[in-house]
């Protein structure tokens, strides 16, 4: 008959050769017994550890933590769980570990000894450190990005503002010159100055609005019922002045008032018109239709190369035009601002673009 | 500011005289649980938690105020002044023992005697002074604190729960001791282990008892002997107890030493 394997011996071997360190201390924390794994990790022999304090085999932080917190905890609640500590070996090398502790007491509740199970946690520590590192980096990047973004917004706001004042002088000066009886050549020069200044005024307005929306202020409206026909015609006339070579055919058919911010609608229209003129084929006209039916509807149509389908989606995002037509002048803010004005009015801005035509249509309710 | 709530002040006993217990780093007022009942017949017992520990009001924590021990010292004085207690027997453990010495300078007459359990005026070795830790070790500690190397976040779980909808949290809390907010524990460690108050010892006039454990890695015997030499009117008792918390590991011996100091047999 085969001898039964001795379970008790096997269990003893299991504890001794375990992948965990096992330590028994007296109630004061002085080591009475330790298994071979613990001795291997600390680089000591059994006689070297017996009679020493368990905390003496920890890094200095762990030693303080053990004596001031864990040791009291054992006495008060009899256990502690999953404490991250570091074993410090005879060479000063540190091994990250997790420790569970339990205080054995007799029937009268008198502490007899403390059992400590020590688990190696080096991989876990690396993982935790990577996590912490990643978190710190992400926080720093977010902080940097926010700072940079805020700096940009401020830059744009300040720039827009500072450009306005000198431009005011140019506009006023060229207006005075125009009325001072110049000869034809000089009058044309003044005309060019004046047109460029108007165009620039619009660009600056867009920059400022862009900065404002980015800074969180949004576009503020001053709405009141207004007849938009003279407002739109003024924009058409201005455009004709700025681009005298271009044909703009406007069909403005407005017979009732629209509750809106007239200046903003003029800006929206001007942006759509400028977009059509700069992107349309130069020798073809730009068509404008405005009408009030159930709602106010304004369309601007040009011929030319259609907008690539994959650009339609981000057409109303800032600075996207450079990608499609790098040689066009302007900042690519026109459609972005137009969309913001549209949204502030609760309207819709849609676009159709094919080989025949590119048509932007703005619609909004006449009343709030 | 409600001082009593801030420091979770708890009062027991009916005696004429007052005995205040101040817990040290890493613990809370629970660490006195085996000691104060022995004195409640003759003393009014004042227990409290330092801000950041136990059931104190974490909201009252200020990095500025508690960047030096003075912040904690002011709290101790405020607690006793609000209760209108004077001639108090102050029992302080570890770093709080030092706070008691500091408070006796700041508020003369507040304390009648000081009982200092495992005290230390400075933890770092110096020329002709053994503090228990080398400068390198303390630097290592500070670095470990910075790198969050210690497992403090695990055990020092959230203290502040105050969520009436989740009773199980409250129950868990009542079964747990020495809880500390991890960020505060780190700051307290820094404040504690960088403090050097050796210069005030010789100017201390309040009589004191130094209870020194015979094997303490936080405050070795040399520290207790140094304090006894420096402090006029001090008595030194070296306990048989080992470790840093004789109030927990050897309450009987601790109580006996305290009693024979307070009520000497004539």
Both structure tokens of A211 = 């900065």
What residue of B is the nearest CA neighbor of A125?
B149
**How many C-beta atoms lie closer than 10 Å to residue B107's C-beta?**
17
Residues B31, B94: Cα–Cα separation, whole Å: 12
Q: Are A118 and A62 in contact (CB under 8 A)?
A: no
pLDDT at A156 over 80: no
Catalytic residue, chosen from B93, B216, B228, B234, is: B216
Inspect the interface and report whether the beta carbons of A65 and B26 lie closer than 8 Å.
yes
Inspect the interface and report whether the beta carbons of A61 and B145 lie closer than 8 Å.
yes
- Identify which of B150, B248, B249 has the shortest CB distance to residue A84: B150
Cα B178–chain centre separation:
13
B25 neighbourhood in chain A, CB within 8 Å: 68
Angle between helices B95-106 and B69-82 (to 10 degrees): 60
How far does B181 lie from chain A, in Å, by closest CA? 13
A35-48 mean pLDDT: 95
A349-368 mean pLDDT: 92
Inspect the interface and report whether the beta carbons of A67 and B218 lie closer than 8 Å.
yes
A116 neighbourhood in chain B, CB within 8 Å: none
- Identify which of B26, B137, B243 has the shortest CB distance to residue A69: B26
A80 neighbourhood in chain B, CB within 8 Å: 155
A161-190 mean pLDDT: 86
Both structure tokens of B191 = 């404040």
**How many C-beta atoms lie closer than 10 Å to residue B146's C-beta?**
10
Predicted TM-score of the model (pTM): 0.66
Mean confidence (pLDDT) of chain A: 87
Phi, psi of A51 (to 5 degrees): 90, -10
What residue of A is the nearest CA neighbor of B95?
A68
Among the residue ranges A60-64, A74-78, A239-243, the one predicted with the least confidence is A239-243
Query: pLDDT tens digit string along A234-258?
Result: 899 888 887 888 999 999 999 889 9
pLDDT band for position A11 (cuts 50, 70, 90): confident
How far does B133 lie from chain A, in Å, by closest CA? 9
pLDDT at A328 over 70: no
The upper half-sphere exposure of residue A110, i.e. CA atoms within 13 Å in the direction of its Cβ, equals: 5
Residues B10, B20: Cα–Cα separation, whole Å: 10
Residues A172, A190: Cα–Cα separation, whole Å: 11
What's residue A30's pLDDT? 94
Strand order in the sheet with A21-25: A31-34, A21-25, A111-120, A94-105, A79-88
Sign of CA dihedral A144, A146, A150, A153: positive
User: 3-class SS at B10?
Assistant: strand
A189-218 mean pLDDT: 81
What's residue B169's pLDDT? 42
What residue of A is the nearest CA neighbor of B151?
A84
Phi, psi of B176 (to 5 degrees): -115, 150
Q: What is the DSSP letter of B176?
A: -
How far does B163 lie from chain A, in Å, by closest CA? 24
* Sequence-ordered list of residues with C-beta below 8 angstroms from that of A202, at least 6 positions apart, any chain: A267, A270, A271, A274
Cα A165–chain centre separation:
34
CA-CA-CA-CA torsion for A301, A305, A310, A314, nearest 10 degrees?
-50
Place of tokens 């009520």: B263
B146 neighbourhood in chain A, CB within 8 Å: none
What's residue A278's pLDDT? 86
Both structure tokens of A82 = 């999953």
Q: What percent of chain A is modeled with pLDDT above 70?
A: 94
What's residue A320's pLDDT? 64
pLDDT at A157 over 60: yes
Residues A15, A5: Cα–Cα separation, whole Å: 16
Cα B49–chain centre separation:
9
Place of tokens 């005289």: B17
Angle between helices A184-214 and A262-279 (to 10 degrees): 110
Phi, psi of A73 (to 5 degrees): -60, -40
A133 interfacial to chain B (CB closer than 8 Å): no
Angle between helices A334-344 and A262-279 (to 10 degrees): 150
Strand partners, A302: A358
Residues A50, A36: Cα–Cα separation, whole Å: 13
How far does A163 lie from chain B, in Å, by closest CA? 46
Helix runs in chain A, H state only:
7-16, 36-42, 46-49, 60-65, 71-77, 122-178, 184-214, 228-242, 262-279, 309-312, 321-324, 334-344
Residues A294, A363: Cα–Cα separation, whole Å: 10
B175 neighbourhood in chain A, CB within 8 Å: 77
What's residue A37's pLDDT? 95
Q: Are A344 and A222 in contact (CB under 8 A)?
A: no
Place of tokens 């770092």: B124
DSSP class per residue in A118-157: EEE-HHHHHHHHHHHHHHHHHHHHHHHHHHHHHHHHHHHH
Residues B129, B126: Cα–Cα separation, whole Å: 5
A71 neighbourhood in chain B, CB within 8 Å: 243-245, 248-249
Q: State the distance between the two ends of chain B, measured CA to CA, in whole angstroms.
A: 46
pLDDT at A15 over 90: no
Greater confidence, A352 or A9? A352
User: What parts of chain B have a pLDDT lower than 70?
Assistant: 148-176, 265-266
* Sequence-ordered list of residues with C-beta below 8 angstroms from that of A186, at least 6 positions apart, any chain: A177
What's residue B156's pLDDT? 37
Place of tokens 């009343």: A367
What's residue B157's pLDDT? 36
Is B216 among the catalytic positions?
yes
pLDDT at A72 over 50: yes
Query: Using CB atoms and an 8 Å cut-off, which of residues 42-81 of chain A contact chain B?
Result: 53, 55-56, 59-65, 67-69, 71-73, 75-77, 80
Inspect the interface and report whether the beta carbons of B177 and A82 lie closer than 8 Å.
no
What residue of B is the nearest CA neighbor of A80?
B155
Question: Choosing among A63, A72, A95, A110, which should be mutated to test the B contact, i.e. which has the most B CBs within 10 A?
Answer: A72
Q: Are A239 and A248 in contact (CB under 8 A)?
A: yes
Phi, psi of A85 (to 5 degrees): -130, 180
Phi, psi of B25 (to 5 degrees): -60, 135
What's residue A38's pLDDT? 96
């Amino acid at each position: 008959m085969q001898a039964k394997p001795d379970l008790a011996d096997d269990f003893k071997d299991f504890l001794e050769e375990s992948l965990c360190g096992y330590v028994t201390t007296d109630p004061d924390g002085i080591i009475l017994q330790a298994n071979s794994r613990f001795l291997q990790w600390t680089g000591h022999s059994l006689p070297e550890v017996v009679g020493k304090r368990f905390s003496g085999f920890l890094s200095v932080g762990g030693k303080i933590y053990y004596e001031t917190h864990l040791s009291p905890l054992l006495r008060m609640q009899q256990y502690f769980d999953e404490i991250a500590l570091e074993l410090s070996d005879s060479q000063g090398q540190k091994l990250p570990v997790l420790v569970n502790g339990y205080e054995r007491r007799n029937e009268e509740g008198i502490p007899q000894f403390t059992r400590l199970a020590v688990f190696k946690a080096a991989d876990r520590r690396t993982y935790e450190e990577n996590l912490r590192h990643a978190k710190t980096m992400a926080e720093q990047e977010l902080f940097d990005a926010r700072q940079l973004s805020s700096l940009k917004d401020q830059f744009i706001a300040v720039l827009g503002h500072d450009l306005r004042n000198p431009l005011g002088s140019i506009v006023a000066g060229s207006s005075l010159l125009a009325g001072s009886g110049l000869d034809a050549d000089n009058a044309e020069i003044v005309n060019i100055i004046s047109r460029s200044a108007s165009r620039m005024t619009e660009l600056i307005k867009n920059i400022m609005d862009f900065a404002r929306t980015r800074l969180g202020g949004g576009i503020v409206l001053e709405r009141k019922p207004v007849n938009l026909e003279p407002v739109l015609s003024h924009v058409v006339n201005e455009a004709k002045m700025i681009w005298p070579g271009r044909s703009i055919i406007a069909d403005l058919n407005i017979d009732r008032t629209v509750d809106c911010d007239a200046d903003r609608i003029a800006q929206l229209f001007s942006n759509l018109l400028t977009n059509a003129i700069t992107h349309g084929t130069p020798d073809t006209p730009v068509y404008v239709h405005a009408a009030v039916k159930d709602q106010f509807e304004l369309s601007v149509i040009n011929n030319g190369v259609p907008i690539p389908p994959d650009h339609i989606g981000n057409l109303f995002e800032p600075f996207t035009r450079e990608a499609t037509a790098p040689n066009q002048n302007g900042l690519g803010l026109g459609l972005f601002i137009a969309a913001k004005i549209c949204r502030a009015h609760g309207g819709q801005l849609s676009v159709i673009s094919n080989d025949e035509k590119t048509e932007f249509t703005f619609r909004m309710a006449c009343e709030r | 500011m409600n001082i009593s709530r801030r420091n979770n002040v708890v009062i027991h006993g009916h005696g004429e005289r007052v005995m205040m217990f101040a817990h040290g780093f890493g613990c809370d007022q629970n660490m006195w649980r085996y000691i104060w009942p022995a004195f409640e017949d003759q003393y009014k017992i004042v227990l409290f938690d330092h801000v950041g520990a136990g059931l104190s009001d974490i909201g009252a924590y200020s990095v500025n105020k508690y960047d030096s021990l003075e912040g904690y010292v002011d709290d101790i004085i405020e607690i006793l002044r609000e209760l209108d207690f004077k001639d108090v027997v102050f029992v302080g453990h570890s770093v709080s023992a030092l706070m008691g010495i500091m408070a006796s300078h700041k508020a003369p007459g507040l304390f009648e005697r000081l009982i200092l359990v495992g005290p230390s005026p400075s933890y770092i070795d110096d020329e002709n002074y053994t503090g228990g830790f080398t400068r390198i070790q303390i630097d290592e500690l500070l670095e470990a604190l910075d790198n969050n190397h210690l497992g403090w976040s695990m055990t020092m779980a959230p203290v502040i729960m105050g969520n009436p909808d989740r009773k199980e949290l409250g129950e868990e809390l009542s079964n747990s001791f020495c809880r500390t907010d991890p960020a505060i524990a780190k700051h307290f460690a820094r404040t504690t282990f960088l403090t050097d108050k050796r210069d005030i010892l010789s100017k201390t006039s309040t009589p004191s008892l130094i209870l020194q454990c015979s094997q303490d890695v936080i405050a070795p015997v040399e520290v207790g002997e140094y304090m006894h030499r420096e402090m006029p009117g001090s008595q030194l008792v070296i306990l048989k107890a080992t470790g840093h918390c004789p109030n927990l590991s050897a309450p009987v011996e601790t109580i006996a030493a305290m009693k024979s100091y307070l009520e000497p047999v004539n």
